[in-house]
Structure 1
Amino acid sequence: MREDPDEITRLKIALGRISRTVDRLVSGDGLTRTQLSVLGTVARVGPLGIGELAATEGLNPTMLSRVVGKLESDGLLHRTADPADRRAARVEATDEGRALHCRLRDQRTQLFTDALGRLPGDDADTLMSALPALESLASAIADTGR
C-alpha cells in the first residue's frame, strides 16, 4: 500500500468536496445532514427500534431523540411503541418521509450519473472499479468510531 501523505490528503479533499457539493446542489428541504441520514436509514431499512437506529447512525440517544423529534414534527417519521416491549419506541418513515427520501435519492443519483457521463476517457469506469475499495474505506473509517 502506498502511504503518500499528499495522495491521502488529495483523496480526503476530493471526497469532502464531492460530499459538500452534492449537499449544496441537492437540498434536503432545510434538513441537516444528520436528519437526512436518519430519515434515509429509516426509509430504507423500515421500522427500527431507537437503540438500533442510534447504533446504525452512530448517535447518542439524546441527539437521536432530538433528530427523531424534529423529523416527527415535520411529518417525516412516525414513532410508535415497540409491540415486543411497550417501554421502547420504534420509528418508521411516513409516506411523506419516504417520498422525500426517494426524491432526494433520485436527484443525487442523477447528479452523479450526469457528472460521470462528463468525465474524460475511462475515468468513469475507473471510479466504478474502485467502488469496492471505497466501500471498504468507508467501513474501515466507520469501524474506527466504534
Structure 2
Amino acid sequence: MNQFSGEDVDRLRIALARIARLVDRQVSGEGMTRTQLSVLGTIARLGPLGISELADIEGLNPTMLSRVLGKLEASGLVVRSAAVADRRAVRVQTTPAGRSLQQRLRRQRSQLLADRLTGLPEGQAGQLLAALPALETLAEQLNRPQPVKSQPVKAAR
C-alpha cells in the first residue's frame, strides 16, 4: 500500500484534468481535437519522425494515427515523405504553417497560465512552480510502460 490517501490522489487527478480541459477551452486549437494538437506538438518538437516512433510517443494505434495525420496533412500542417535510408518507411514533419500554429498556440497557453499565476493568493504561485520537478517526473513515469506484475504461481496438488 502507498502512503497517499485516495482522496488526495483523486484531487490531484481531477485538478490536473480540469486545468488541461480549461486551457484547451480558452485557447482554441482552431477546431482541432486534443489528439491532433498533441500529435502536431510532438512532431514540431521532435520531428521529423517515423510513423511507428510517433505512434509509440503518442500512445496511438497506427490506424488512429493515420487518420489524425490525414487531417493534419489536409490542413497543410504536416507533410509525409519517404525516409532517405529506407524508401518504404514514412517520416512526418511540420510545414511552416504547422510550426507557426503550434508556436502560436504554445505562446497563448503559456500567457494564459502566466496571467492566472499572477492572480493566485500570495505564495501559491511559488508553491506550484516549486512542484514542477515532481510533476515533470510524474509525467515521465506515466509515459513509461508499466511493468507487468507477475501472479504468484500456485503449486500443483
Structure 2: 5+ residue stretches without partners: 148-157
Structure exhibiting the larger radius of gyration computed from Cα positions: 2
Q: Which runs of 5+ in 1 are unaligned?
A: none
Instruction: Tell me the CA shift for residue 143 of structure 1.
Output: 2.0
| Whole-angstrom CA distance in 1 between matches of 2:26 and 2:51 | 30
Letter in 1 for 2:13: K
Aligned length: 146
The equivalences for 1:53-132 within 5 A come to 53-132=54-133
Q: Percent identity at matched positions?
A: 59
Counterpart code for 1:48: L
Distance 1:94 1:24, change over 3 A: same
| TM-score normalised to structure 1 length | 0.95
Shift of 1:145: 5.8
| DSSP-derived class of the 2:25 partner | helix
CA distance in 1, matches of 2:94, 2:44: 5
Amino acid at match of 1:77: V
Cα distance change of structure 1 residues 2 and 122 upon mapping to structure 2, 3 Å threshold: farther
User: Residues 12-55 of structure 1, C-alpha deviation per residue, up to 9 Å, x if partnerless?
Assistant: 11111101100100111111111001100111112111111111
User: Counterpart in 2 of 1:10?
Assistant: 11
- Paired AA for residue 47 in structure 1: P
CA distance in 2, matches of 1:88, 1:141: 29
Q: Pick the structure with more strand per residue.
A: 1
Q: Which residue of 2 aligns with 1:23?
A: 24
SS of structure 1 residue aligned to 2:137 = helix
Runs (4+) of structure 1 exceeding 3 A deviation are none
Q: Render the CA deviation track for 1:64-119: whole Å, top value 9, x for unaligned.
A: 11111110011000110111110011111001100100110000000010011111
Separation of aligned partners in 1, 2:78 and 2:48: 10
- Taking only aligned residues, the RMSD between alpha carbons, in angstroms, comes to 1.4
In 2, the alpha carbon distance for the partners of 1:43 and 1:95 equals: 10
TM-score, normalisation: structure 2: 0.89
